[in-house]
């Protein structure tokens, strides 16, 4: 077996005869995640990412709408908001891990976890959203600096998405687009991605924060400060409206 590092679930994974397997210890129990053939014809990153996108989109839409309103017109809007905000947030996060790992010469692929996606869908009917749609696994990178870089770009990508949603509303205002749906997308997008970035910076277990902290304490602290400020300061509609108003006034001299 060849040990390698997994970006999300499990710090050390193993491959045997080209088959990738996750082993994770959780409260004394060892969990074995589904095997994935390394670089084999059975694996397709696009298909795996599509599974993760679809699963998280539906689960978050159910939470946004409420199980009692699934047959109402609200679910259509919730699915659209969720696909843009939640699905995009997770996929961009995972792609950031994968692309940086590949830049360092590692073999890196994303594998969806159908059991966790199924659990997420079940819990969404109770109003609870939990998402572990899969993981990027890679071989060929073992030093703390590069592992820290690979881990760091995940939360940072979510913070950048949060800023993108922050800037989207005033741009739409300037070109006079319809606000109703866009407003909800912006509000949910800013808050969701800021919290997702902050959550992944937990400095322990399989979270990205553990690897970032092992690489650089200053970088870890600075990223947590920025993520915390965005999560606690911007994840409210009244604050966003004030920020959007300030951006428009500064950019166009509107009083």
Q: Is 48 a catalytic residue?
A: no
Point out which residues pair with 30 in neighbouring strands: 25
The 8-class DSSP code of residue 236 comes to: S
Tokens of 233: 């300061």
Sequence-distant (6+) residues with CB within 8 A of 221 are none
d(CA 61, CA 75) in angstroms, rounded, equals 7
What tokens does 215 get? 């690489």
**Residue ranges of E strands in 100-248:** 107-112, 134-139
Location of structure tokens 């696909």: 83
Residues 6 or more apart whose CB falls under 8 angstroms from that of 33 comprise 9, 10, 21, 22, 23, 24, 111, 113, 135
Exactly one of 48, 94, 113, 208 is catalytic; name it: 94
213-241 b/e (C-beta count within 10 Å ≥ 16 → b): bebbeeebeebbebbeebbeebbeeeebe
Q: Residue 73 phi/psi, 5° resolution?
A: -65, -20
Which pairing describes strands 13-16 and 29-32: parallel, antiparallel, or unpaired? unpaired
Residue positions annotated with a catalytic role: 94
């Amino acid at each position: 077996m060849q040990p390698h590092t997994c970006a999300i679930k499990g710090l050390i994974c193993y491959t045997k005869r080209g088959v990738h397997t996750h082993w994770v210890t959780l409260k004394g129990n060892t969990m074995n995640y589904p095997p994935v053939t390394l670089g084999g014809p059975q694996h397709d990153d696009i298909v795996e990412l599509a599974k993760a996108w679809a699963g998280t989109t539906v689960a978050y839409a159910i939470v946004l709408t409420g199980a009692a309103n699934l047959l109402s017109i609200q679910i259509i809007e919730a699915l659209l908001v969720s696909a843009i905000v939640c699905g995009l947030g997770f996929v961009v996060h995972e792609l950031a891990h994968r692309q940086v790992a590949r830049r360092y010469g590692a073999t890196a692929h994303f594998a969806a976890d159908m059991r966790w996606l199924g659990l997420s869908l079940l819990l969404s009917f109770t109003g609870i959203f939990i998402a572990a749609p899969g993981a990027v696994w890679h071989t060929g990178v073992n030093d703390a600096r590069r592992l820290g870089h690979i881990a760091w770009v995940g939360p940072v990508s979510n913070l950048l998405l949060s800023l993108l949603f922050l800037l989207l509303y005033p741009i739409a205002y300037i070109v006079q687009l319809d606000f109703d749906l866009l407003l909800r997308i912006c509000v949910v997008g800013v808050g969701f991605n800021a919290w997702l970035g902050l959550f992944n910076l937990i400095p322990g277990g399989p979270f990205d924060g553990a690897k970032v902290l092992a690489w650089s304490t200053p970088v870890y602290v600075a990223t947590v400060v920025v993520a915390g400020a965005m999560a606690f300061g911007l994840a409210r509609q009244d604050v966003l409206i004030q920020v959007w108003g300030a951006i428009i006034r500064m950019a166009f001299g509107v009083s």
